[in-house]
Amino acid sequence: MAATQEKATPCCLDAAPAKSSALLHKASDPMRDWTVSGSDPSQDPIRNRAAVPTLIRPIETLPATSTNTTATKGIPVMLRAQTSHPLEPLSAAEISVAVATVRAAGATPEVRDSMRFVEVALVEPDKHVVALADAYFFPPFQPSLLPRTKGGPMIPSKLPPRQARLVVYNKKSNETSIWIVELSEVHAATRGGHHRGKVISSKVVPDVQPPMDAMEYAECEAVVKDFPPFREAMKKRGIEDMDLVMVDPWCAGYHSEADAPSRRLAKPLIFCRTESDCPMENGYARPVEGIHVLVDMQNMVVLEFEDRKLVPLPPADPLRNYTPGETRGGVDRSDVKPLQIIQPEGPSFRVNGHFVEWQKWNFRIGFTSKEGLVIYSVAYIDGSRGRRPVAHRLSFVEMVVPYGDPNAPHYRKNAFDAGEDGLGKNAHSLKKGCDCLGYIKYFDAHFTNFTGGVETIENCVCLHEEDHGILWKHQDWRTGLAEVRRSRRLTVSFICTVANYEYGFYWHFYQDGHIEAEVKLTGILSLGALQPGETRKYGTTIAPGLYAPVHQHFFVARMDMAVDSKPGETFNQVVEVNVKVEEPGKNNVHNNAFYAEEKLLKSELQAMRDCNPLSARHWIVRNTRNVNRTGQLTGYKLVPGSNCLPLAGSEAKFLRRAAFLKHNLWVTSYARDEVYPGGEFPNQNPRIGEGLATWVKKNRSLEEADIVLWYVFGVTHIPRLEDWPVMPVERIGFTLMPHGFFNCSTAVDVPPNTCDLDLKDNGMTAKPIQNGLLAKL
């Protein structure tokens, strides 16, 4: 992922590169570098001082930035630039080096030719390495991130080399392997004489299937269309032009031993357009029912084919299309006036690479092919208290879409869109003025394709400010004097398309210190065809012969919290809060009393919890060592939005792989390799409850820990006629809100706006407000 400076208009946002980033200290003996190997605590330079060269002299304060040798309290210091922050997304060049390194390591030409590259991701370093980088190597230098030590901090000459982690599928052997490649080493003598990285490790992962790739999907569609029995079946339905046919390969899931990962399988859904010369026609309006296809994705052959039931194609629905001039009889609205968001003084945020500062917030932006957007190192600058961490890492790590129709093919529609496909890989370029509005900073994203080439999604992540209505207001009724403030929020987002559905993922940062996570669902319904006169109670009939099955969408947010905690500290805990009604009696003689009751979640098994709106249930992550001015522990609370649980029996097949959906909240003690709630490879996974449901059986203590929250939230979709032909956005999410974190409201110092309007030319033009935002109607 790369910051795209030129995309931000009207001016460039990226700060000039830091002239100095690393510290090199003179010593009487030669200097040596240090490295961190994996997540072995014995190799951690902070926990084990022996791992850091003792030749480095401690310093008490950070020297001024300079390209020259400077002196700090008599200690000669040379500052040296670093190219990439440890959390910087892999560049296109780094991905190319990683792929080339692994390919060159293949034992034979056959092995190298059969390698398919599913994922190339950054190996995120230990939290102490990130703290060291932020403290002394990258601006804005923050030495307070490191724990104080006697004699001052120990500062190495440079950071450990960056590493890439590759998931590689061998198309010939049907094996999946994981490779770790160090990116800083240069081996000019390797095959071809090109620069390579260095293979640190490789291992084969048995009994798994990695996510599917777009190249596989395209090849699968072509194979099915060329299969003679399929063409004959389509001919029975009146279709001979294969250009009209859409084959959407769906992962097979796991319903029985026949779906075991010993084979790489897909069970496509079939649709058919009406007009071959209309590329924007809504082909999902004509589902093809009754045809069963099973495709071997390794060898690209049809394994099973059966024309089980001849269901007539639904007639062409005149309301099926959604392009301009083709909706609701071909008449578009003509009374929508332009709306412009203009910031003549530029935005209030600052961006340096992937580091963002805005309204006392600062964080880093990352991106992966599986999760999409990742937010790192979230902190708030709180006056004299300085930088106060809130979270180390925030992301959406999985989503599941189970359908509620027991009929074929809908009963097996339970997509794991992150684990089976990849949310990041399915992201797309955002359009200024459409997907995002206002003064925008874009970031590009880089991925490997299936054959190892590098692909770039331009304008993949959008960063911009939004006006968000009133932040607060009060009018004194005695004097008539009023104070009101507008709310501004900073939004970071991306949008992905998975077959028929679109999902927008948003993190909103607010001036009062709270963070909102939001998912916007839109796109096209996945439909089924009906026999003439048939109806089904498991969906909604939306047109003759056409119905939309009921279904649910579930999302999992993983939040590696760090409330007032330096990296690696284990001073957080979680309490559950429920509002209780006081029992009638001497303490409640008026029968109006209620109170908030707190319960400490002491262990992982105790922390499997569900939402309860009847008791206003929420959860607070507290720091056990920090207090506010009233003596209460500082904290951030998770406030649920609307939510649901799976509407399926306990023996539902998809719950074998998605046991994490059984509760809305899970809490674990941080472990570096615990990232994906259904395990890393949910595709055709035969193992019951892999991932989160298994990890919590360790029942680790949470009374003082490095806390990770897993919040599962969803929506039950009963389709409406108004969801056709394209579904208006539906929003779900949750909020992380300060709870005793600050000593008072952080919103009182937001400056007032200029709100009066001038009427000109029968229109309204807003005067510029004092903080630089202009809304023009």
Q: Which two tokens stand for residue 572?
A: 């957080």
Q: What is the DSSP letter of 605?
A: T
The rounded distance, in Å, linking the Cα atoms of 603 and 358 is 36
**Bridge partners of residue 775, in order along the sequence:** 341
Q: Which two tokens stand for residue 505?
A: 């993922």
Smallest CA-to-CA distance from 638 within 549, 722, 561 is with 561
Tally of CA atoms within 13 A in the half-sphere of 8 that contains its CB? 26
Degrees, nearest 5: CA angle 292-295-298: 170
Smallest CA-to-CA distance from 294 within 418, 175, 214, 408 is with 408
- Do 106 and 115 form a contact (C-beta atoms < 8 A)? yes
Indicate which residues carry an active-site annotation: 417, 501
The rounded distance, in Å, linking the Cα atoms of 282 and 320 is 6
Smallest CA-to-CA distance from 408 within 552, 566, 255 is with 255
Q: In what order do the strands lie in the sheet with 198-205?
A: 115-122, 163-170, 175-182, 198-205
C-alpha separations of 332 from 322, 324, 531, 542 in Å: 11, 7, 33, 22
Q: Which two tokens stand for residue 684?
A: 């055709």
Which positions ≥6 away from 434 have C-beta within 8 Å? none
Q: Where are the beta strands (DSSP E) in 538-617?
A: 539-543, 546-549, 551-561, 572-581, 594-600
The rounded distance, in Å, linking the Cα atoms of 699 and 132 is 31
Tally of CA atoms within 13 A in the half-sphere of 29 that contains its CB? 7
Report which secondary-structure segment, H or E, holds 233: helix 228-236
The rounded distance, in Å, linking the Cα atoms of 689 and 693 is 5
